[in-house]
Amino acid sequence: MTTVSESAVEAQVEDLEDKTPFWQKAKTMARKQPVGVAGLAVVILMIFAAIFAPWLTPYHPEYNDFANMLTPPGADYILGTDQFGRDIFTRILYGARTALFVGFAAATVGAVFGLVLGVASAYFGGMFDLIFQRIMDVFMAFPLIILALAVVATLGTGTQNVIIAITIPFIPQCARVVRSNALAIREIPYVDAARALGFGHMRIIMRHMAPNVMAPFLILFTAFVGQAILLEASLSYLGMGVQEPTPAWGLMLQGGAEEYAESAPWVAIWPGVAISLAVFGFNLFGDSVRDTLDPRLRSR
């Protein structure tokens, strides 16, 4: 019987690892996926704005300043002020925090739950899979925004409830996609081997199957972040999301779109631009991740 030491295996794996410097990889990636890199740049810019907002603007996002209400874009207020005299640029920077927090929280929780449930459904199969998938069908029968609205109407408004409302429709979406990939993995001999070794269901699901469906998971996750940002903005626009005076893009749009569309259009335009850019950025980035990770698309 031949035995191989653990350190020897690690050394072999190390040899196989790509030694190309990071900047070189980034350059290659930029050449291959220029659109994705543009999306990533928007995402990074957004994260930068959210983190460094207090240092990027002298104004407070919530304080009223009626002496400067509805000031057009200019030197003092580069994107103008709203009806309460609040600097729109400042509120957009701080609004990125709300968007990213809700976006990442909802996408992470929704995708992780979907991953676990989808893999478990594929692994157990039989009656469990049948019942679970029918439950998923019920959730997926509702359009995303309708389901989110129903959840907010039941739980009430506020950031926490908005995250829950957005998370719930994500779970079946992720579970369905992950399950279809996990069904193929279930049939691979190493899963049988793991069973034969007496590993528990949880270990097989979490350590042997879930890591192998990471590609669709990551693709879905990036798409979910963009969708969550859009949903949060939609709910806030409808008055069912986060509440004033919290800076949030949908809320800013709602406050200005109706009354000031003609006399102070900047109140509605800039939050609209911010929402579009963020969703666009995440979608472009998500598409590139898909193109990179999906083996069927990799050769194109």
CB closer to another protein out of 140 and 145? 145
Which of positions 80-139 make contact with another protein (CB under 8 A)?
83-84
Q: Is 265 in the site for another protein (CB under 8 A)?
A: no
Quick check: 113 and 176 in contact, CB under 8 A? Answer: no
Contacting residue, 54, 74, 143, 156, with another protein by CB under 8 A:
156
* Strand, coil or helix: 233: helix
| CA geometry: angle 69, 72, 74, nearest 5 deg | 120
Q: Is 160 in the site for another protein (CB under 8 A)?
A: no
Contacting residue, 90, 98, 157, 227, with another protein by CB under 8 A:
157
Q: What is the C-alpha separation between 80 and 78, in angstroms, rounded? A: 6
Contacting residue, 12, 24, 180, 243, with another protein by CB under 8 A:
243
Contacting residue, 6, 263, 295, 299, with another protein by CB under 8 A:
263
Beta carbons within 10 angstroms of residue 67's beta carbon = 8
Q: Is 294 in the site for another protein (CB under 8 A)?
A: no
Picking from 257, 235, 255, 259, the residue whose alpha carbon sits closest to that of residue 86 is: 255
| CB proximity list for 53: less than 8 A, separation 6 or greater | 61, 90, 93, 94, 96, 97
| CB proximity list for 36: less than 8 A, separation 6 or greater | 29, 284, 285, 287, 288, 289, 291, 292
CB closer to another protein out of 43 and 147? 147
Q: What is the C-alpha separation between 284 and 151, in angstroms, rounded? A: 29
CB closer to another protein out of 49 and 88? 88
Contacting residue, 73, 158, 265, 272, with another protein by CB under 8 A:
158
Quick check: 123 and 69 in contact, CB under 8 A? Answer: no
Which of positions 43-72 make contact with another protein (CB under 8 A)?
62-64, 66, 69
Q: Which stretch binds another protein (CB under 8 A): 47-55, 164-172, 202-210, 237-245?
A: 237-245
Contacting residue, 218, 260, 272, 280, with another protein by CB under 8 A:
260
Binding site for another protein (CB under 8 A): 62-64, 66, 69, 83-84, 156-158, 239, 243-245, 255, 257-263
